[in-house]
Amino acid sequence: MADHKIKILIIDDEKNIRLTLRDILEDDGHLVLDAASGEAGLETLKRESVDLVLLDVRLPGMDGIEVLKAIRKIAEDLDVIMISGHATVGTAVDALRIGAYDFLEKPLSLARVKLAIRNLSEKQSLTKRTTLIKQSESIKYRLIGDSPQINLVLDTARRVGPTQAKVLIRGESGTGKELVAHAIHAASSRGEDAFVKFNAAAIPSELVESELFGHEKGAFTGAVGQKKGKLEMANGGTLFLDEIGDMSLSAQAKILRVLEDGKFERVGGTQTQSVDIRLLAATNKPLEEMVSTGLFREDLFYRLNVVPINLPPLREREGDIKILLNHFLAHYAAELSLSPKHFSRDAMTMLVAYPFPGNIRELRNLIERLYILSPNTEMDIHEIKPHLNQVISAEGDAAIFTETRPFSEAKRMFEERFLESQLRQHAGNISRTAKSLSMQQSNLSRKLKELGLGKP
């Protein structure tokens, strides 16, 4: 019995053929429909979604070739197997040219019919799995958020994607620079080709050039054979150089040559290799300062910085913290096969106000940790506080949630930090901030004055 069950429409004017095919196909677990003419079959296709059509060539009214052409207009990708006892080679060629999957001769060999359908069923199953994998990858590398800041980044990625322009993505650690690179790659003509990531900070400096450019046998101790580097793996696609500010000056010079003429040599080699790649780079370091101190090549900086994209930290993305919290709550419920969890209202309020100095990486890790460690479906403030980063951020936000202090003092500190954060997320607009907090604008203005925040 076939592993993958499909829905089949038989179009044949011979009743005995239809009944015989129905019996053997239903015995294999498939769902079967039938029609005695091409016109009736086309009407069925307009009402029903099927996976395969078994179509006779000689039919009353419209013949099989005419029906096949009409099927292509209704469902362009629908698989069709033609069957006939009177067809010429020319008819078979025409059917295959129009898009028939296979051509079977009468009298039908039932074993041949079952084999053809089994092969097609396996092909469809593989196609569906491949589609699901691609959809899963698309979701995995999607930038989550709806803030004006992130929408600007996505719009820039979509605009620059179809070009061959070099892009330098900048932002704090954990903000999702790799996701921006994936968005650019997906929007390019190379979107179906390889996307290869190389993180210069994650590899010992003495191995960077070997990993990036490859090496020849005997190039250094331990090089027992020839090895292709990331550049060759990315040929035809996109190479994403993450943390390029950590790359040595020697490697920078070789990358510059690749950008200029697409050529390089493997470590220990003399033969010049050629590659066709789209190069994207990212860093969280101040490259301009590194250029002025001689730690980064000025010519490489300008070659990379054709289109700069600045990815804002999470604390500056208006409204995105709550969106990301809910996204990862759903994501880890599915990934860990656990019952969905949620935050209490106070816990959500606290997390939305928390600065997340580790950005999205910190937020994602927090949700995963809570899913693993928390026994509760609803997680409250006291459960979350021990897992927050106990640091003082660059903006002076102390870990007010984890330190013991008088309640009145903690309450005031929380209100100050929370309202500062909300105002920042709404670009200082008191009206929009009040609306998002379900407050009267006059009450918010009074509270800001009481806390000494004044007008932003």
Query: What confidence tens digit (pLDDT) does each residue in 94-127 have?
Result: 777 887 888 888 888 888 888 888 888 888 877 7
**3-class secondary-structure state, position 152:** helix
Amino acid type, 157: A
Classify burial at 107, counting beta carbons within 10 Å of its beta carbon; exposed 0-12, middle 13-18, buried 19 or more.
exposed
- At 165, the pLDDT band (50, 70, 90 cuts) reads very high
Full DSSP string of 317-332: STTHHHHHHHHHHHHH
**CA 290 to the chain's CA centroid:** 33
**3-class secondary-structure state, position 79:** strand
Mean pLDDT along residues 75-79? 85
Would you state the pLDDT for residue 237? 93
* DSSP at 103: E
pLDDT in tens, 359-386: 999 999 999 999 999 999 999 988 898 8
Cβ atoms 262, 277 nearer than 8 A: yes
Would you state the pLDDT for residue 427? 67
Respond yes or no on whether the N-terminal peptide bond of residue 148 is cis (omega within 30° of 0): no
Amino acid type, 436: S
Take residue 341 and report the two structure tokens written for it.
């969890």
Classify burial at 413, counting beta carbons within 10 Å of its beta carbon; exposed 0-12, middle 13-18, buried 19 or more.
middle
Side-chain-facing half-sphere of 316: CA atoms under 13 Å: 11
- The reply to whether 148-312 shares the fold of 7-132 is yes
Could you tell me the maximum CA-CA distance found in the chain, to the nearest angstrom? 94
Take residue 214 and report the two structure tokens written for it.
């490859």
pLDDT in tens, 60-76: 889 888 999 999 888 88
Other Cβ atoms less than 10 A from the Cβ of 231: the count is 24
Would you state the pLDDT for residue 85? 73
What is the domain partition of the chain in residue ranges?
A: 7-132, 148-312, 316-450
With a cut of 50, say whether residue 149 has pLDDT above it: yes
Task: State the architecture of 7-132 in CATH terms.
Answer: 3-Layer(aba) Sandwich (3.40)
Would you state the pLDDT for residue 300? 95
Cβ atoms 17, 59 nearer than 8 A: no
Would you state the pLDDT for residue 76? 81
Would you state the pLDDT for residue 394? 36
Other Cβ atoms less than 10 A from the Cβ of 48: the count is 11
Amino acid type, 107: P
Q: Which residue has the tokens 């292509």?
A: 72
* DSSP at 200: G
Euclidean distance between CA atoms 187 and 162, whole angstroms: 6
pLDDT in tens, 290-305: 999 999 999 999 999 9
**CA 166 to the chain's CA centroid:** 21
**CA 82 to the chain's CA centroid:** 39
Cβ atoms 391, 420 nearer than 8 A: no
pLDDT in tens, 403-449: 566 777 777 777 887 787 777 767 678 888 888 787 888 888 888 88
Would you state the pLDDT for residue 294? 95
Classify burial at 345, counting beta carbons within 10 Å of its beta carbon; exposed 0-12, middle 13-18, buried 19 or more.
exposed
Q: Which residue has the tokens 């370091």?
A: 285
Residue 180 makes CB contacts below 8 A (sequence gap 6+) with: 143, 153, 157, 169, 282, 309, 311
Euclidean distance between CA atoms 307 and 103, whole angstroms: 53
Take residue 149 and report the two structure tokens written for it.
């800041």
**CA 203 to the chain's CA centroid:** 25
- Taking the whole predicted model, whether its pTM rises above 0.85 is answered as no
Cβ atoms 99, 70 nearer than 8 A: no
pLDDT in tens, 234-275: 999 999 999 999 999 999 999 999 999 999 988 888 888 899
Q: Which residue has the tokens 């005695």?
A: 36
Give percent of the chain with pLDDT exceeding 70. Answer: 91
Residue 439 makes CB contacts below 8 A (sequence gap 6+) with: none
Mean pLDDT along residues 152-157? 94
Give percent of the chain with pLDDT exceeding 90. Answer: 47
Classify burial at 270, counting beta carbons within 10 Å of its beta carbon; exposed 0-12, middle 13-18, buried 19 or more.
exposed
State the average pLDDT for the chain. 86
Q: Which residue spans within 313-357 are E strands per DSSP?
A: 342-343
Would you state the pLDDT for residue 287? 93
Q: Which residue spans within 190-317 are E strands per DSSP?
A: 195-199, 238-242, 263-265, 272-274, 278-283, 307-310
Q: Which CATH class is domain 148-312?
A: alpha beta
Would you state the pLDDT for residue 343? 95
Residue 279 makes CB contacts below 8 A (sequence gap 6+) with: 166, 238, 239, 241, 255, 258, 259, 304
Length of the chain: 456
Take residue 154 and report the two structure tokens written for it.
């996505």
Amino acid type, 1: M
Respond yes or no on whether the N-terminal peptide bond of residue 406 is cis (omega within 30° of 0): no
pLDDT in tens, 26-43: 988 899 999 999 999 999
Would you state the pLDDT for residue 226? 83
CATH of the domain spanning 316-450 = 1.10.8.60
